[in-house]
Each structure stands twice: as structure tokens, then as C-alpha cells.
Amino acid sequence: MVAAASSLHRDGDGTLVVRVTGDWSLSAPTPPAARAEQELRSEAPSRVVFQAAALGRWDSSLVSYLASVADVARREALDVDTSGLPRGLQHLLALAGGPRRPIPPPPPYPTLPTRVGMAGIDVAVHAGGMLEFLGRASMALLATLAGRGHFERRDFGLLIEQSGGAALPLVAVINFLVGAVLAFLGAVQLQQFNATIFVANLVGVGTVRETGALMTGIVMAGRTGASFAAVLGTMTVNSEVDALETMNFDPMEFLVAPRVLAMLLMMPLLVLYADFFGILGGYVVAAGLLQITPALYLTQTREAMTFSDVLVGLLKAPVFGAMVALAGTYFGMKTGRTASAVGTSTTRAVVSGILLVILADAVLTVFFYAVKL
């Protein structure tokens, strides 16, 4: 390894020649640029020429040395000739000697009104996009039901299992606990009026009309809706959705319609399953606190519930299933091209699914009350 060196000399026409030789490395001593800079300031030459005929290996230490000399020369309004340097070194010096752009200050943190406005705009944009997506999904679902849709029949069975069978344990536990909580609250209040037998009425009617369908919809939004968004979002990031379009497969028919159909089919069955465990949870608490016999509890439940009560829950079920599936598939298909976008889409799918389920439940509850169902 030849030691780095730098020499200065002036030609007869007043040109200052800066010649660099040897191997320039950050790990070895290199000549300082102060001597060349002092030479430029003491007696300004007509121009500065860089030469590197005997230059060996070099790294950023040489770039720093030459850039410092060139910067002083430009401040003295001197021409700098870099044609005697390697081409790569010339490019680096050109970049180093380019105009210095000031670093812009970071944008100010948005104020509360600004953030509220941005959130409102975001909600409006997604609301419009979801309405358009609902129309396309409906057309794809009709095509699928008519036998014209293109999707893998083998995958539909897996979607049925993911949307139904795999959710059974969680749905059972959640609704059992909700039924138990309803029974406990009812028992505490009804004991004051010596009417504890009506705990069965409260749990039975409340479960089949409201909590069974509502809690199942929320559970499915957090579980299946998130799964739909994550899977479709990953496919979007990996350009698999673009590949389907390239092969003339409609992603709405191939990806969205089977998931919506699976949720529409499985939600009523899950709600019936949830109703059973909700009533069972109420009975466990009632039997433990109030010593109500199974026969009495079942008789009271059967007398309190009507077919219209069960029908209300079953009519809500497919609506909730459609809301969960549409929220999950919409945000999955709208995922950006980064890995973090998948997490953002999944979060939005869960939040939107839960919000839509609760909103739909409120509207349907008022509607069924108005039609006396």
C-alpha cells in the first residue's frame, strides 16, 4: 500500500496544479487540505487543475480532500478542472459541489380541528368507496349464485370452515359469559321484587333478539373480518390481485364473492349456536344464585320466547355477516403497497366491521319495533 500524498505547483500561466498520488483510505493517514486552501487564499491562481496520474485505491477521504479544495476555489471565483481525475471521482465531486438545498423544516403537527377535518374527509372517502364496492360485490355475488362466477370451489369449503367451524369455541365462550352477566344483573334487581323467576325471561328474550346476534357479529368482525383483510391485503402487496386481473379473472368474483357468501351462510347458524350458549350461561347463574331447577327455567324460557323473537335474531344474522365480510374485503382490496399497510387495513377492517354491526343492529331494532316483530 503506497502512502497517500498531495503536491502543489504553479504553471507559468498561473494555474495551480493539485496532484494526488498513492492509496487514499480512511484507515490510514492522509494529507490535510489546509495547505492547499492556504495556497489558494494567499495568492489566487488563474484556475485550479486536479491530476491523479499515479493515484491508487481511494475512498471518501480523497473525495473530502478534493471537495474542500474545490469549495475554496469556487468561493474565490476560480475555475476548477477535474478532467484529470477518474470518472467516478469526477461525478462525486460534481455532486459534492452542487447547490446546497436548505433542509425544509418538519411540517407542523396538525391542530385538533385539522385532525378532525382530516378524519371526516377520510370517513367520507371510505364511505363513498364502500358504497361503490358494495355495488360491485353485489354484482359478483349474483354472478356467483347464477353459476357464472369464477372461483375455486375447493377453497369455498375452507372459507366455510374459517367463517363457521373455526369460530365455534370463541362464539360459545363469549355468549355463555354474556348470558351469565345478564342473568346476574337480572337476579340482583329482581330479587328486590321477589320475581327472580323472570331472570329466564330476561336472558331468553334478550339473547335471541339482541345479544346472541350482536355479540356474534362483533366476534366475527374481530376474527374473520380481520382475517379477510389480512389475506387480501397481503395478496395486494404481493401483486397477486394484479396477476388475477392479468389472467382475466375478476378479483371481485374470485376473492370477494366467496367470502361474502360464506359469511351469509354461516352467520344464521352461528347465531342459533350462540343463542343456545347464552341461555345456558343464564341458567348456570340462575341455578347457582337462585336455586331454580332446570325444568322450571326451561319452562319459563319457552313461555317467554316467541317465534318472532327467534326470527328477529335470525334476520339480523345475515345482515351482520354481510357487514363484516364487506368491511374485511373492502379494506383488504384497498391495501397499499407496503408491509405496514396490511396492518393498517386490518385495523380499519375490524373497527369498521364492529361499527357497522352496531349501527345495523340499532337500525334493525327500531325497524322491527316499528313493524311490531
- The 15-21 sheet, strands edge to edge: 5-10, 15-21, 47-51, 79-84
| Residue 261 domain-assigned (yes or no) | yes
pLDDT per residue as tens digits for the range 312-348: 999 999 999 999 999 999 999 988 887 788 999 999 9
| Residue 274 domain-assigned (yes or no) | yes
In this prediction, residue 170 carries a pLDDT of 94
Q: How many CB atoms lie within 10 A of CB 265?
A: 16
Please say which residue of 47, 74, 96 terminates a domain. Answer: 96
What total number of domains does the chain contain? Answer: 2
Q: How does the average pLDDT of the chain come out, rounded?
A: 88
| Residue 313 domain-assigned (yes or no) | yes
155 & 60 share domain: no
> How big is the chain, counted in residues?
373
**Residue 235 near residue 241, CB atoms below 8 Å:** yes
pLDDT per residue as tens digits for the range 140-199: 889 888 877 677 777 888 889 888 888 999 999 999 999 999 999 988 888 888 888 899
Strand partners, 21: 5
| Residue 108 domain-assigned (yes or no) | no
pLDDT per residue as tens digits for the range 202-221: 999 999 999 999 999 999 99
Cα distances (angstroms) measured from residue 66 to each of 20, 62, 69, 92, 241: 9, 6, 5, 10, 52
Please list, in sequence order, all residues whose beta carbon lies within 8 angstroms of the beta carbon of residue 23, skipping any fewer than 6 positions away: 1, 2, 3, 4, 56, 57, 58
315 & 179 share domain: yes
Please say which residue of 96, 118, 145 terminates a domain. Answer: 96
Please list, in sequence order, all residues whose beta carbon lies within 8 angstroms of the beta carbon of residue 132, skipping any fewer than 6 positions away: none
63 & 173 share domain: no
58 & 162 share domain: no
Please list, in sequence order, all residues whose beta carbon lies within 8 angstroms of the beta carbon of residue 294, skipping any fewer than 6 positions away: 283, 287
The Cβ-side half-sphere exposure at 336, using a 13 Å CA radius, reads 7
Q: How many CB atoms lie within 10 A of CB 159?
A: 23
Q: Nine-digit cell at 197?
A: 323467576
Please list, in sequence order, all residues whose beta carbon lies within 8 angstroms of the beta carbon of residue 75, skipping any fewer than 6 positions away: none
Q: Which domain holds residue 36?
A: 5-96
Question: Would the pLDDT of 100 be above 60?
Answer: no
From CA 218, how far away is CA 214, in angstroms rounded?
6
Please say which residue of 96, 113, 148 terminates a domain. Answer: 96
190 & 328 share domain: yes
